[in-house]
Structure 1
Amino acid sequence: MTTLSAAPTLPRAFWLYWAGVSLTALGDAIVYVALPYLALAAGGGLKGAGAVGLVVLAGSLPRFLGPVLGGLADRLAPRGLLALSAGIRGLAVLAVGLWGQFGTLPLAALLALAFVNGLLSTLAYTAGSALVPRVVAPEALARANSLSSGALMGAPLLGYGLGGGLIHAAGAAGALLVSVPLVLALCAAALALPHLPAAQEGSRPRPLADLREGLGVIRSSPLLLALLGMSFALNLAMNVMNTRAPLQMALHGRGAADYAVFEMLISGGVLLGIVLVTPLTARWSLDALIGAGRWVLLAGALGFIFVPIPAWWAGAAVFGLGLGLLEVAATTRSQQLTGLEVRGRVIGALMGVNAVALSLGAGLAALPLPTPGLMLGLALLLLALMPLWPLALRRPQGQRLSASSSASAKASSSSSHG
């Protein structure tokens, strides 16, 4: 019989970080909702959907810079990095909001804001993912990641509705101004954190070398390599699903009304999965939880191969549940598998590879292929990758991997074969 121990306590430093992340995620959601409306009214030659598409693209491009930002997260003190990133974001949102209140915003200003906000959000996420394992005890890491993921995914649900109401009441520029103190909350929280030195001091960021080191650590760990493969396929499938879902609802359902239900179900499933991680890890290992989460994801993906809208709704709820389980379990496991001095680069490398998957997913969804056949192909891809995780678990696992230990292992291997 399994004995349930008391939930591990979390330190004040974590709760400060969590409060800042929660409020900033709320502000980010308002910015996310306001930018498309500002783009529709922006001055310049490009109008309508083209302007909105460019703004969305500008906010997505920084994901490709994940390896560079991960190198910064490893080499700079986390308190200053988080405070600076949130402070610059808040000032940028304030400047664009004031410009929109007193004049006509050019599209270039919105593109700059979307890119800067996306860049600094990615940097803050990378720095925060590397910070959390440093301020909480190992036995509390899964719970801390569950709370952090819940804040990052739960706060926007409130923020989207709040943003819509603010745009209706005060206009899109006014909504940006309201979001400024929320965006700055992470800056205030970071300044109250205890001082922690950089994970790797005394070296300069080297973008290509950082990417090679991050990918080298992943290649050296069977579990990290399996997580990378699953994450790539998942992000590919998600962007295809996100692109085809509105079309499916318009062709076979009530359009926006059915799509709103779809998004609510997938978001609710994600939050439920995140909440379940902490009690489930009292009985199951993280490795077992990741193994189960893959099958939940596959079951949800199978719902998207059917035409009726209720099948898509059921698939959304189940897919979201699996996504929430894997979000926390895989993040915690990857933090456990990497050394302190290279953790940011590994997270950055994972984000860069996932950005490629998201781009490929968008391109694949744009092809003139029937949705049921396309979703069946993605479900088969997820099924084909199922053996990766149990195979990785059966392979010998070493200690936490760092850039230096990985390089030393390669050097030893080279000398022994020489």
Structure 2
Amino acid sequence: MTVRRVLGDRAATTCLGGVLVSGFGDSAMMLVAGIWVKTLTGSDSLAAAVTFCVWGPTLVGPVLGTVADRVRRRSLLIWTNAALAALLPVLLAVRTGRDVWLLFAVFTLIGAASVLTDAAEAGIVTAAIPPDLRGDFNGLRMTVNEAMKLLAPLAGAGLFLRFGGGSVAVLDAATFVLAALAFAALRVREQPPAPAAGGWREQTAEGIRHLRSDRLLLRLVAGGAVAMFLSGVSSAAIYAMTDSGLHRPPAFVAVLYAVQGSGSIVAGVVSGAVMRRLPECVFAATGLMLFTAGAAVRAVPSLPVCIVGTLAIGVGLPWVIVAAFTTVQQRTGPELVGRVAAAAGTVVFAPTAVAAAVGAGMVAAVDFRVQLVSVGVAGWLAAWFLLLRRPRTGLAEAEDVPAPDPDPVPGPRPVSGSGPGSGPETDPETDPGPGSVPAAGPVPGA
């Protein structure tokens, strides 16, 4: 079983361990940051601004991706995690509402670091994981992230209530230390960074040009952007759906997020196996249809139907993101993969902020059922586009699509684990969101 091959590789499991511990700390800190700001200021808008601080740096993703392509990726991952561990204790100085600017500054830096490390991780994956295992690895990373989103908020809320926000900052700092140690333990033979050709603008544009020139890759990344936009629109309706549709208190939203997270855990485990059986566009379209159908059926005022729809969202949405970012790794050379991954992350995740505003406006203007059904219709139209416009095959495709990723290191690929199933060393890249995915980093609730 291919998943066992991934888990049987020492480097892969070490890397997943780093993702697990840092994901735990980040999930706990993200929940607490909003509560912390709300507690200190009483302002809902300032509490919401913390999320913007984390997502904002995706807008300069291509530039940060260029940084990742100009240095050794493993060293960058070690030192970035170490720097974040040193930075977070600064939040112990936050005492009153006048100190919340420190929270905003720190979380903006965390957001930028997440984009940077996602780009570096994409390069590590292409250097260490065989192409046939990358879908499984990215899916398992999604599983780990979603599992942490189920467990960490409870730990973070408990620490906040008992000891205050500073204690959660210390916990997050400790997880960054463990992540730095995990990357330090990885053994991967990287190509030296290619000599810089031209200035920063030219290098950044090179990654964007590669993304635009590969029609399959561009189509999948566009599909991911549509999925994240529709996720934001759907998420905006969740409180109205819970209240007017299910007649449940607002706290019931936490149950729905837990159900969605459970679906995402399953999606991550099986995504690699499904990707090997379906063309990339079909896999992404299947996920898009499953996700948006799940959103649409939540318009039905029935708890069992809503639970089924929420599970469908949890399974379908990660598939779209995994398809996009695994294809980035498969179809991009090692010298460009950081820039292309970061550019793809900007395209996929930047619509989230716009979607939040559109969704909030729709909640005020139309019935939530119209909003959810609209997501379903739009999602199926987008999936039809993915299926209709398949890339050309054979010679025609070879003329305009970059060659598959070559082995970045001459000679045999270094293997950290043992046995025929061990893939060399690794780290993923799909997390939707900083710290995603983009890899799939965390996928917002829909």
Q: Which amino acid aligns with 2:117?
A: A
Q: Distance in 2 between matches of 1:210 and 1:362?
A: 32
Which residue in the other structure is 1:407 paired with?
none
CA drift of 1:325 comes to 2.8
- Equivalences for 1:190-201 in 2 at 5 Å? 190-194=183-187, 196-197=189-190, 200-201=193-194
Picking from 227, 240, 249, the partner of 1:234 is: 227
Spell out, residue by residue over 1:300-338, the C-alpha distance to the aligned partner (whole angstroms, 9 max, x if none). 132144455554332211111112333333322221122
CA drift of 1:245 comes to 0.6
Q: Distance in 1 between matches of 2:372 and 2:203?
A: 35
CA drift of 1:284 comes to 4.4
Which residue in the other structure is 1:353 paired with?
347
Q: Scaled by the length of structure 2, what TM-score is found?
A: 0.80
Q: Which amino acid aligns with 1:110?
A: L
8 Å CA contact 1:27–1:159 kept in 2: the answer is yes
Secondary structure of 1:212's counterpart equals helix
Q: Distance in 2 between matches of 1:295 and 1:197?
A: 38
Which residue in the other structure is 1:378 paired with?
375
Spell out, residue by residue over 1:17-41, the C-alpha distance to the aligned partner (whole angstroms, 9 max, x if none). 2211111111111211221232134
Picking from 385, 389, 398, the partner of 1:388 is: 385
Q: Could you say if the C-alpha distance between residues 248 and 209 of structure 1 is closer, same or farther in structure 2, counting changes exceeding 3 Å?
A: farther
CA drift of 1:207 comes to 5.3
Residue 168 (1) aligns with residue 161 (2): yes
- Please identify, of 164-173 and 197-206, the stretch whose mean Cα deviation from structure 2 is larger: 197-206
Secondary structure of 1:202's counterpart equals coil
Which residue in the other structure is 1:298 paired with?
292
8 Å CA contact 1:307–1:372 kept in 2: the answer is no
Picking from 26, 29, 33, the partner of 2:27 is: 29
Residue 39 (1) aligns with residue 37 (2): yes
Spell out, residue by residue over 1:53-78, the C-alpha distance to the aligned partner (whole angstroms, 9 max, x if none). 22222222112121111111211111
Residue 222 (1) aligns with residue 215 (2): yes
Residue 325 (1) aligns with residue 319 (2): yes
CA drift of 1:195 comes to 5.6
- Unpaired segments of 5 or more residues in structure 1? 404-418
Residue 142 (1) aligns with residue 142 (2): no
CA drift of 1:240 comes to 1.3
8 Å CA contact 1:274–1:327 kept in 2: the answer is no
Q: Which amino acid aligns with 2:73?
A: P
Q: Distance in 2 between matches of 1:205 and 1:59?
A: 30
8 Å CA contact 1:294–1:386 kept in 2: the answer is yes
Q: Could you say if the C-alpha distance between residues 71 and 200 of structure 1 is closer, same or farther in structure 2, counting changes exceeding 3 Å?
A: same
Picking from 70, 76, 81, the partner of 1:75 is: 70
CA drift of 1:224 comes to 0.9
Q: Could you say if the C-alpha distance between residues 173 and 389 of structure 1 is closer, same or farther in structure 2, counting changes exceeding 3 Å?
A: same
- Unpaired segments of 5 or more residues in structure 2? 406-446
Q: Which amino acid aligns with 1:31?
A: M
Q: Distance in 1 between matches of 2:97 and 2:299?
A: 45
Q: Distance in 2 between matches of 1:291 and 1:49?
A: 36
Aligned Cα RMSD in Å?
2.7
- Equivalences for 1:9-408 in 2 at 5 Å? 9=6, 11-42=9-40, 47-97=42-92, 99-100=93-94, 106-194=99-187, 196-197=189-190, 200-203=193-196, 208-252=201-245, 253-281=247-275, 283-284=277-278, 286-308=280-302, 310-367=304-361, 368-370=364-366, 371-390=368-387, 391-394=389-392, 396-398=396-398, 400=402
CA drift of 1:197 comes to 4.2
Q: Distance in 2 between matches of 1:392 and 1:365?
A: 31
Spell out, residue by residue over 1:359-392, the C-alpha distance to the aligned partner (whole angstroms, 9 max, x if none). 2201211213312222333322222222333322
Q: Distance in 1 between matches of 2:125 and 2:155?
A: 29
Q: Distance in 1 between matches of 2:342 and 2:276?
A: 30
Q: Could you say if the C-alpha distance between residues 191 and 54 of structure 1 is closer, same or farther in structure 2, counting changes exceeding 3 Å?
A: same
Q: Distance in 2 between matches of 1:266 and 1:27?
A: 20
Identify which of structures 1 and 2 has the higher relative contact order when contacts are C-alpha pairs closer than 8 Å and 6+ apart.
2
- Please identify, of 27-36 and 277-286, the stretch whose mean Cα deviation from structure 2 is larger: 277-286
Q: Which amino acid aligns with 2:402?
A: R
Q: Could you say if the C-alpha distance between residues 239 and 124 of structure 1 is closer, same or farther in structure 2, counting changes exceeding 3 Å?
A: same
Q: Distance in 1 between matches of 2:34 and 2:375?
A: 30
8 Å CA contact 2:222–2:347 kept in 1: the answer is no
Q: Scaled by the length of structure 1, what TM-score is found?
A: 0.85
CA drift of 1:247 comes to 2.9
Q: Distance in 2 between matches of 1:121 and 1:386?
A: 29
Q: Distance in 1 between matches of 2:369 and 2:201?
A: 40
Q: Distance in 2 between matches of 1:79 and 1:360?
A: 34
8 Å CA contact 1:271–1:324 kept in 2: the answer is no
Q: Could you say if the C-alpha distance between residues 281 and 55 of structure 1 is closer, same or farther in structure 2, counting changes exceeding 3 Å?
A: closer
CA drift of 1:281 comes to 4.6
8 Å CA contact 2:241–2:299 kept in 1: the answer is no
Q: Could you say if the C-alpha distance between residues 330 and 178 of structure 1 is closer, same or farther in structure 2, counting changes exceeding 3 Å?
A: same
Q: Which amino acid aligns with 1:354?
A: V
CA drift of 1:216 comes to 1.7
Q: Distance in 2 between matches of 1:27 and 1:220?
A: 38
